[in-house]
Amino acid sequence: MARKIEIFDSTLRDGAQARGISYSLHDRLQMLALLDSLGVDYIEAGNPASNPKERQFFEEAATLPLRATLVAFGSTRRKDTEAPQDAGLAALLGAGTKAVAIFGKAWDLHATNVLCTTLEENLAMIRDTIRYLKAQGREVIFDAEHFFDGYAANPGYALLVLRAADEAGADTVVLCDTNGGTMPHALEAAVKAALGAVKCKLGIHTHNDSELAVANSLLAVNAGACHVQGTLLGYGERCGNARLTSVIAGLQLKMGYECIGENLARLYDIAREAAEITNLTFDETLPYVGRSAFAHKGGMHIDGLCKAHGSFEHIEPSLVGNQREYLLSEVAGKAAMAEKLKDSFPEAAQDREKVGLLMEKLKALENEGYSFEGAEGSFRLFVMKQLGLRKQKFSLVHFKVSDEPTNENTFGAYAVVKVDVDGEARMAAAEGNGPVNALDKALREALGNFYPQLRSVSLTDYKVRVLDTNAATAAKVRVVIESTDGKDFWRTVGVSTDVIAASLHALIDSIDHSLLGAEPISASAEAK
C-alpha cells in the first residue's frame, strides 16, 4: 500500500496573510467545510490570541462534524514567563481544539535579535510550552520557524531546537522555509540532517518567494518528511505558501504516495469553490486545476493528442476532475455542453443541433460577461428558456429605486416595484440597507401575494465582481446571488454596467428558480 503523507491546510490562517484576503465568519465556516470535504488531515483555522473575534469562530467550528483535525495556532510562551501564566497559551487552549500548532525560533539571529533573548532561554521557551500543552492533552505540532535559514547560519543550534521540541514531546516537528528563499539542494541536505536529529514525525512548510514552494515540498517528502503544510490555492503572505492542489496531485499521481484518495477527482471543483469563497480571481493557468491546464492551442500538439493522448499531456485530466480543451476547435465546446446537459436534460444532450444552438447562445452571453460557472441556477433557466421549457411565473412591469441621505449619518434607499402574475398586477414598496436590499424586499413582498412559499426563501450570499476594470465606474459588473429555501441552495447571476440592474437580473433568476413547478394563487384570495 502507498505510504500516507499527512496534508495540513492553512488557508484560513497563513492564507489570511495574503494581500486582499479578509474572511468573514461565514466565509471561514464555509471554507472549513469545503476543506474538510476534500479529505485533508489537518485544518489550521486561526490564531486565537490575535483577535477576540476568533473565539466565536472556534465555538461555531466545534459544533461541525469534521473529519479533519481542527488546529489552533499560536506561539511559544513569552520569554521569562511561566507557560501556565502565558496569556497567548491560555487563548490557544481556550479554542478547545484537539491539536495545536505552535511556532518557535530555529534561527539563532531571531532568538537574539528579534526576540532579544538568549539561545538557552529560546530552547526553554520551546520545551516548556510543548510540555505544558502535552500535559493539557493536546496533539502538538511544532513549527520550527526559519529552520532552513537557521540551519545555513548555525546548523548545530537549528538541530538543537528540533531536538528540544522532540524531547519535550512534540508529535510533529515541521521544518519551515519562512522566507521562501531556500534552494532545492540546500533544502534536501537540511531535511536529511533533521531526520537524523528527531524521532517524531517530520513535516515541511514552504513559501513561494523563489517559486520553489511546491518543488521543495515534494523534495522534502522524497527525503523523508511525512507531513506537508500549505494552503489549498497557494494563498499566503508575499508570494504565498506551497499550493496544496499541486502538492497533493504531485505526491499522489507522480510519486505514488497516498494523501486524499479518490477525492483527488474533486480537486478541480473544490479549488474553484475555495476561490469563490475568498472572492479572488481564479488563475486559470494553475497546474492541474486551471481551465488552461489541459487546453491545447498549438496545431502540432492537437494533432499529436488526437493520435495519442499521453503524447502531449502529463496526466489524464479527469484524474483531478479537469478536462481537455482544444482552443481552436468548436468540437470540444460541444462535447462539454453535452456533458453538462446530460443529467437534467438527457434528451437535449443527445441532440447535436440543440447542443450546437445552446453553445452559440452561450458564447454570445459569455461575450457580454456572463459566466455560468458557479451559477447553476441561472444555467438551468437559460437552457429551459432556449429549449422552450420555461414558463413565465411573473413579469416585472416597472420598478424604481432611489437613494439619498435622510439625515447626517444614514442613507435612505427604497424601491417600488410593480409585478404582474397571470394578468393580476400588484405593487409593493420597501426600504433597505441599500438599493439592492430594498429591491429584494419589495419583490418578495409583491410576489408573496401569489407565491407564499417565497416568504421562506432567503438570500445567503451576494458577490459582486467588476469585469472590465479599465472602464472604472462605467465597467460591467457580475453579481452572483446564492439563495436557499431551507433545504436546497441555488446560485444565479446577472451582468450589467449598472450594479442595480445586474443585481435585479440575478434576483429575478433566483425567484424564478425557486418557483420552478409552482402554481400561483390569486393575490386577492390570499389577501382575504
331 contributes a contact to a second copy by CB under 8 A = yes
Comparison of 166 and 325: residue with beta carbon closer to a second copy: 325
Comparison of 36 and 237: residue with beta carbon closer to a second copy: 237
328 contributes a contact to a second copy by CB under 8 A = no
24 contributes a contact to a second copy by CB under 8 A = yes
DSSP letters of 103-140? EEE-SHHIIIIIS-S-HHHHHHHHHHHHHHHHHTT-EE
19 contributes a contact to a second copy by CB under 8 A = yes
217 three-class SS: helix
312 contributes a contact to a second copy by CB under 8 A = yes
Q: Where does 140-241 have alpha helices with state H?
A: 147-153, 155-168, 184-197, 213-223
Please identify, among the stretches 57-65, 131-139, 261-269, 458-466, the one whose residues bind a second copy according to the rule CB under 8 A: 458-466
Please tell me the distance from the alpha carbon of residue 73 to that of residue 102, in angstroms, as a whole number: 6
309 contributes a contact to a second copy by CB under 8 A = no
- State the sign of the Cα–Cα–Cα–Cα dihedral 448, 450, 452, 458: negative
465 contributes a contact to a second copy by CB under 8 A = yes
Among 474, 486, 487, 527, binds a second copy (CB under 8 A): 474
Please tell me the distance from the alpha carbon of residue 478 to that of residue 298, in angstroms, as a whole number: 32
Among 498, 521, 522, 526, binds a second copy (CB under 8 A): 498
Please identify, among the stretches 91-99, 194-202, 288-296, 339-347, the one whose residues bind a second copy according to the rule CB under 8 A: 288-296
How far is C-alpha 53 from the geometric centre of its chain's CA atoms? 20
Task: Tell me the closest approach of the beta carbon of residue 74 to a second copy, in angstroms.
Answer: 11
Task: Tell me the closest approach of the beta carbon of residue 438 to a second copy, in angstroms.
Answer: 9
Residue of 47, 10, 49, 17 lying closest to 31 (CA atoms): 10
213 three-class SS: helix
Please identify, among the stretches 65-73, 192-200, 380-388, 457-465, the one whose residues bind a second copy according to the rule CB under 8 A: 457-465
- Contact positions with a second copy (CB under 8 A) in 194-253: 208-212, 214-216, 218-219, 222, 237-240, 243, 246, 249-250
Contacts with a second copy: how many residues (CB under 8 A)? 127
Residue 105-144 contact track with a second copy, rule CB under 8 A, x = bound: --x-xx--xx------------------------------
- Contact positions with a second copy (CB under 8 A) in 345-404: 371, 373-374, 398-404
Intra-chain end-to-end CA distance of the chain, in Å: 70
CB atoms under 10 Å from CB of 317, counted, come to 18
* Rg from Cα positions in the chain: 27
Asked if 46 contacts 21 with a C-beta cutoff of 8 angstroms, the reply is: no
